[in-house]
Structure 1
Amino acid sequence: MSVRQALDDGPMTRFRWGVVVVCVLLNMIDGFDVLVMAFTASSVSAEWGLTGTQTGLLLSAGLVGMALGSLLVAPWADRVGRRPIILGCLVVASAAMLLSSVSQNAVQLGLLRVITGVGIGGILASSNVIASEYASRRWRGFAVSLNSTGYALGATLGGVVAAVLIGGQGWRAVFLFGGVVTLLAVPLVFLRLPESMDFLLTRGDLGRVNALAARMGLPHQDRLPDATGAPTGVGAGFRSLLAPELRRTTLILWVAFFGVMAGFYFVTSWTPTLLVDAGLTPGQGIAGGTLLNVGGIFGAAFLGLLATKFALRNVLIAYLVITAALLAVFIASTSSLALAFVLGGLIGLFVNGCVAGLYALTPGIYAAGVRTTGVGTALGIGRAGAILAPALAGVLLDGGATPQNLYLVVGAVFVAVAAVLTLLRAVAPVATPTKELA
Structure 2
Amino acid sequence: MATDPRALIDQAPMSRFQWGVVATMVGLNALDGFDVLSISFAANGIREEWQLGPSGLGLVLSMELIGMAVGSLFLGGIADRIGRRATILSCLVLMTIGMLGAASAANVEILSGWRVLTGLGIGGMLAATNAAVAEAANAQRRSLAVVLMAAGYPVGTIVGGSISGLLLVHFDWRAVFVFGAICSLLFIPLVLWRAPESIAFLMHKRPPNALERINATLARMGHPPVDALPPVTDTPKRKVPLVALFSPQLSRATILLTLAYLMHIMTFYFIVKWIPPIVKDMGFPPPEAAGVLVWASVGGASGSLVLGLLTGNIRLLALTIVAMLLSTGLVILFGQGQSDLAGLSMVAAAAGFATNAGVVGLYALIAQSFPTSVRASATGFVIGVGRGGSALAPALAGFLFAAGYQLQTVAIMMGLGSIVAAGALLAMRGWKPPEAG
TM-score range, shorter chain: over 0.9
Selected match of 1:37 from 39, 44, 63: 39
1:367 maps to 2:368 = no
Q: How does 1:331-370 map to 2 (within 5 A)?
A: 331-370=335-374
Give the corresponding residue for 2:232: 226
C-alpha distance after superposition, 1:221-260 (max 9, x if no partner)? 323231636544xx72111000011111110011011011
- How far 1:3 sits from its partner (Å)? 1.5
Residue of 184, 187, 195 corresponding to 2:186: 184
Which residue identity is paired with 2:218?
A: A
Q: Deviations over 1:150-175 (max 9, x none)?
A: 11111111111111111211111111
Q: Which residue of 2 aligns with 1:17?
A: 19
- SS for the counterpart of 1:362 is helix
Amino acid in structure 2 at the alignment position of 1:87: L
| Partner residue, 1:3 | 5
Indicate the SS of the match to 1:103. Answer: coil
> Is 2:230 the counterpart of 1:263?
no
Q: Structure 1: give runs of 5+ residues left out of the alignment.
A: 434-438
Aligned partner of 2:134 in structure 1 is 132
Partner of 2:251: 247
Where does 1:289-438 land on structure 2 (aligned, <5 Å)?
289-425=293-429, 428-431=432-435
Cα 1:156/1:88, change in 2 over 3 Å: same
- Aligned equivalents of 1:113, 1:389: Cα separation in 2: 19
Q: Is the 8 A contact 1:78 1:230 kept in 2?
A: no
Aligned-residue offset at 1:280 = 4.0
Distance in 2 between the 1:220 and 1:91 partners? 33
CA–CA separation in structure 2 for the residues paired with 1:302 and 1:103: 41
Give the distance between the partners of 2:68 and 2:109, measured in 1 at CA: 18
What are the residue-to-residue correspondences of 1:3-152 with 2, within 5 Å?
A: 3-152=5-154
Corresponding residue number in structure 2 for 1:211:
216
- Deviation digits for residues 324-367 of structure 1 (CA, Å, limit 9, x no counterpart): 11122223241244332211111111111111111111011111
Q: CA deviation at 1:411?
A: 2.1
1:42-68 CA distance string (max 9 Å, x none): 100100111111110111001111111
Offset of residue 430 of structure 1: 3.7
Structure-1 separation of matches of 2:63 and 2:299: 26
Aligned residue-pair number: 431
2:160 is aligned, of 152, 158, 161, to: 158
Moved over 6 A (4+): none
Identity of aligned residues (%): 37
- Structure 1 residue 268, shift from structure 2 partner: 0.4
Partner of 1:436: none
Mapped to 1, the partners of 2:65 and 2:364 lie a distance apart of 21
Q: Which amino acid aligns with 1:209?
A: I
> 2-side partners of 1:229 and 1:93: how far apart?
35
Superimposed CA distance per residue, residues 364-383 of structure 1 (whole angstroms, 9 cap, x where no aligned partner): 11111111000010010111
SS at match of 1:335: coil
Which amino acid is the alignment partner of residue 28 of structure 1? A
CA RMSD for the aligned pairs? 1.7
Q: Tell me if structure 2 keeps the 8 A contact 1:275–1:331.
A: no
Normalization by structure 1: what TM-score? 0.95
Q: In 2, are the aligned partners of 1:96 and 1:115 still within 8 Å (CA)?
A: yes
Q: CA deviation at 1:179?
A: 0.4
SS in 2 for 1:195: coil
In structure 1, C-alpha distance between the alignment counterparts of 2:303 and 2:155, rounded to whole Å: 12
Partners of 2:147 and 2:308 within 8 A in 1:
yes
**Maintained 8 Å contact 1:280/1:334:** no
> How far apart are 1:2 and its partner, in Å?
2.6
Q: Residue by residue, what CA displacement relative to the aligned partner does 1:245-290 show, whole Å, maximum 9, x if unpaired?
A: 1111110011011011111111100122123334544444222222
Q: In 2 relative to 1, CA 230–127 (structure 1 residues): closer, same or farther, beyond 3 Å?
A: farther
Q: Alpha-carbon deviation of 1:431? A: 4.3
Q: Secondary structure at the match of 1:243?
A: coil
* Equivalent pair of 2:4/2:229 in contact (CA under 8 Å): no
CA contact (8 A) 2:267 2:416 kept: no
Give the TM-score taking structure 2 as reference length.
Answer: 0.95
Q: Secondary structure at the match of 2:348?
A: helix
CA contact (8 A) 1:278 1:403 kept: no
**Counterpart Cα distance in 1 of 2:358 and 2:134:** 17
Does the 8 A contact of 2:335 with 2:412 survive in 1?
Answer: no
Q: What is the distance in 1 between the residues matched to 2:242 and 2:120? A: 18
**Shift in CA distance, 36/245, structure 1 to aligned 2, threshold 3 Å:** same
